[in-house]
Structure 1
Amino acid sequence: MVETVDVVVVGAGVIGLAVARELASAGREVLVLESENAVGTQTSSRNSEVIHAGIYYPTGSRKAIACVAGRELLYRYCVERAVPHRRLGKVIVATDRDQIARLDAVAAHAAANGVTDLEKLDEAALHELEPHIAGVAGLLSPSTGIVDGHALMRALRADAEGAGAGVALGSRVVAGSVRTGSPMTLEVAGVGDLRCRGLVNCGGLGAWDVAGSLDGFPPGRLPARWLAKGNYYTLSAGSVPFRRLVYPVPVDGGLGVHLTLDMGGAARFGPDVEWTDELDYRVDPDRADRFYTAIRRYWPELPDDALTPAYAGIRPKLSGPGEPSADFFVQGPAEHGVPGLINMFGIESPGLTSCLALARDVRTTLGTDTLG
């Protein structure tokens, strides 16, 4: 006999686990299927672990709305569940006076997004906060922070399982059927067939493969996918003299090479953008050469030969080279016409910050229609 569950969540990264927690806490019967043998092995564990304030995203976009709401939900959750985190702040640095107007534009855009706590810094105030920064002005974002992503995922999983959800590792969705009028059916490697009333595809990099494997899903509704590899470097020895995250003034096409800190205080520089067609996480040591000039604009004291490869992440993007960054795409029945199916496409940064807000959006979109 084929087992039937209320809702299947595909993917046990930070988004899938947050969705499972949200649905299970609302009384849904939830099963999470994860193709790997551990949770969060891809995008969720290969990022900067930054809690973003919501400064840069297009006003009114899902990224902006989910980031601002998710930031406060995440800070509150980390306190409640004792997830290691620090609200240490971020400094955005203008390294010459021609960039000051850009700082003003960043502050105005942030305010339009609901980020109202930015503090303008003149040169003296900037150097009082971070004496080793080379800059003429800056913005302080006190709401920016960092989080232990692995601890966050452990807490989300524990909450989901505590509310009755199941998490099945090593369980890859091979194919399925979502034809209207028939029960949703999934073929799971090593398990067999499984029926569900609702399906939330949080497959991250693999979300496109999952959606494309579903008989009855309209192929024309599968968006294009681009893979952006981000390389990170750290110091081969010593530490940085900064207490906060440091970002240059954003330029067209990206945020520049910025400095983030992990929970242990170790520095990471990156990510850059390397467009790729494969999931290759190796970091080329020679790519560090282009980092030095960018970093030295705000930290001239960076020694020669100081950078060494740390790790790389690959972001699933809905926009490619030269295109404006696309928004998150929470694709529900209104977009594709399949009742009970939600695809989470292009959940890159600020996905970690937004995870709890996006989970609430999924619960609202899924509604109660799938309850049997």
Structure 2
Amino acid sequence: MDDVECVVIGAGVIGLAVARELAESGRETIVLEAEGGIGTGISSRNSEVIHAGIYYPAGSRKAAFCVRGRRMLYAYCEARGVPHRQTGKLIVATEPDQIPVLEATLEKARANGVEGMRLLSKREVEALEPECRAEAALQSDTTGILDAHAFMLALQGDAEAAGAAIAFQAPLERGEAGSDGIVIEAGGTRLRAKTVVNCAGLHATEVASRIDGVAPSSIPPLHYAKGNYVSLAGRAPFSRLIYPVPEPGGLGVHLTLDLGGQARFGPDVEWVDDLDYEVSTDRLDAFVEAIRRYWPDVPIDKLHPSYSGIRPKIGPDPAAFHDFVIQDADAHGVPGLINLYGIESPGLTSSLAIAEHVLELVDARG
């Protein structure tokens, strides 16, 4: 059995960011990944949006980590040559009775320290995005897009340059807390680590349940919120991202652009029991209805099913707001173990700030 200072479980964007932070602090770090490559789960199935930090309750981890993470992410992408663009976005009220929602959202954004926000009149929206139907809008200048895979490759490169190693095809089999560390069995290998960070995303609750000593009551219930996307053949007549007012469980079917200018719409919210990523054509009618509210002239014949992602929702009411959960031994009883649960949107934007926080927890323990 080999001894290692830190083990990170999961090589998605959060696991890679954490591994980079730990390795660059001088700690020997190994990442255990169940699949054959990096970022095959949540990290590769999202909108690739750099969020501003608008929607989350003041004082929440999502608010704090998103705002700080966004600033860190833009700086990192610039320094490391990760493709990205600060596009800005419009949150649109398509009916007059939605305007108070925009006003409340603006106040929430200001409370979170989000800069570059202002309300737009109907005429101002038409001047910026002539094809967009809106009674008013909330403009966010600091929203953007990035190449998520290029970002993960940069994190992986940084982590490995600092001495970290990644073991693929190494799913966690079991773990056991001892007096001198946590013994991990994964992929036929036994390791004893001073620190274990559970960044397993959709499988974080399962991983935690396989580590002896973790209090079962500390593991939150998990609900799968599937988000389907449809793509538009050809170019959309928009230069900014277009979002409706938020809805329970998500941000509504919004229009995002990739770095090549391709438009995609989603995600919707579909509660599922299994990790099924198929996108059914039966959902197209609902997409068309949602899109037409802000783009009445959307060419229906050019919409087609694209891809889907699944968000790990935690808590008794999966449609309610639930914050990121980051637990240490005070919560679950296993010294040296840090569990991350419910790291959904804005997890990509927040990744560098979350990793910074995890390092602070490790440093505090000594």
TM-score (norm 2): 0.97
**Structure 1 residues 323 and 281: alpha-carbon distance in aligned structure 2, compared to 1, 3 A threshold:** closer
Structure 2: distance between partners of 1:108 and 1:36: 42
Q: Give the equivalent residue in structure 1 for 2:71.
A: 72
Q: Give the equivalent residue in structure 1 for 2:164.
A: 165
Matched, 1:225 2:222: yes
Query: Is contact 1:70-1:356 (8 Å) kept?
Result: yes
Query: Is contact 1:11-1:35 (8 Å) kept?
Result: yes
Q: Give the equivalent residue in structure 2 for 1:100.
A: 99
Structure 2 residue matching 1:231: 3-state secondary structure: strand
Aligned pairs (5 A) from 1:77-96: 77-96=76-95
**Greater CA deviation, 360-369 or 34-43?**
360-369
- Structure 1, unaligned stretches of length 5 or more? none
The one-letter amino acid of 2:191's match is L
The one-letter amino acid of 1:5's match is V
Matched, 1:20 2:16: no
Structure 2: distance between partners of 1:216 and 1:251: 38
Aligned pairs (5 A) from 1:111-130: 111-130=110-129
Q: String of CA shifts for 1:143-175, please: whole Å, max 9, x gaps.
A: 000010000000000000001111111111111
Structure 1 residue matching 2:149: 3-state secondary structure: helix
Structure 2: distance between partners of 1:277 and 1:138: 36
**Greater CA deviation, 353-362 or 102-111?**
102-111
Structure 1: distance between partners of 2:300 and 2:319: 34
**Structure 1 residues 322 and 277: alpha-carbon distance in aligned structure 2, compared to 1, 3 A threshold:** closer
* Aligned match for 1:245, one of 200, 218, 241: 241
Q: For the aligned residues, what is the CA RMSD?
A: 1.3
Q: Give the equivalent residue in structure 1 for 2:271.
A: 275
The one-letter amino acid of 2:229's match is Y
Query: Is contact 1:226-1:320 (8 Å) kept?
Result: no
**Greater CA deviation, 134-143 or 91-100?**
91-100
**Greater CA deviation, 348-357 or 237-246?**
237-246
Structure 2: distance between partners of 1:332 and 1:96: 45
Q: Give the equivalent residue in structure 2 for 1:194.
A: 191
Q: String of CA shifts for 1:252-276, please: whole Å, max 9, x gaps.
A: 4432211011111111100011111
Structure 1 residue matching 2:69: 3-state secondary structure: helix
Structure 2: distance between partners of 1:103 and 1:94: 7
Q: Give the equivalent residue in structure 1 for 2:182.
A: 184
- Structure 2, unaligned stretches of length 5 or more? none
Matched, 1:360 2:360: no
TM-score (norm 1): 0.96
Structure 1: distance between partners of 2:316 and 2:83: 34
Query: Is contact 2:248-2:319 (8 Å) kept?
Result: no
Q: Give the equivalent residue in structure 2 for 1:301.
A: 297
Q: Give the equivalent residue in structure 1 for 2:283.
A: 287
Structure 1: distance between partners of 2:359 and 2:193: 16
Q: How many percent identity over aligned positions?
A: 55
Displacement of 1:116 in angstroms is: 3.1
Q: Give the equivalent residue in structure 1 for 2:173.
A: 174
Structure 2: distance between partners of 1:32 and 1:240: 40
Structure 1: distance between partners of 2:212 and 2:247: 43
Matched, 1:209 2:212: no
The one-letter amino acid of 1:117's match is G
The one-letter amino acid of 1:247's match is Y
Query: Is contact 2:18-2:355 (8 Å) kept?
Result: yes
Structure 1 residue matching 2:349: 3-state secondary structure: helix
**Structure 1 residues 298 and 320: alpha-carbon distance in aligned structure 2, compared to 1, 3 A threshold:** farther
**Structure 1 residues 320 and 310: alpha-carbon distance in aligned structure 2, compared to 1, 3 A threshold:** farther
Structure 1: distance between partners of 2:268 and 2:212: 37
Q: String of CA shifts for 1:212-271, please: whole Å, max 9, x gaps.
A: 011121222111111111000012x32210001000122444322110111111111000
Structure 2: distance between partners of 1:149 and 1:292: 27
The one-letter amino acid of 1:282's match is E
Structure 2: distance between partners of 1:129 and 1:14: 34
**Greater CA deviation, 134-143 or 67-76?**
134-143
Displacement of 1:39 in angstroms is: 0.3
Query: Is contact 1:9-1:199 (8 Å) kept?
Result: yes
Query: Is contact 1:184-1:196 (8 Å) kept?
Result: yes
Structure 1 residue matching 2:339: 3-state secondary structure: strand
Structure 2: distance between partners of 1:168 and 1:368: 27
Query: Is contact 1:176-1:186 (8 Å) kept?
Result: yes
Structure 1: distance between partners of 2:57 and 2:358: 21
Q: String of CA shifts for 1:48-82, please: whole Å, max 9, x gaps.
A: 00000000011110000000000000000000000
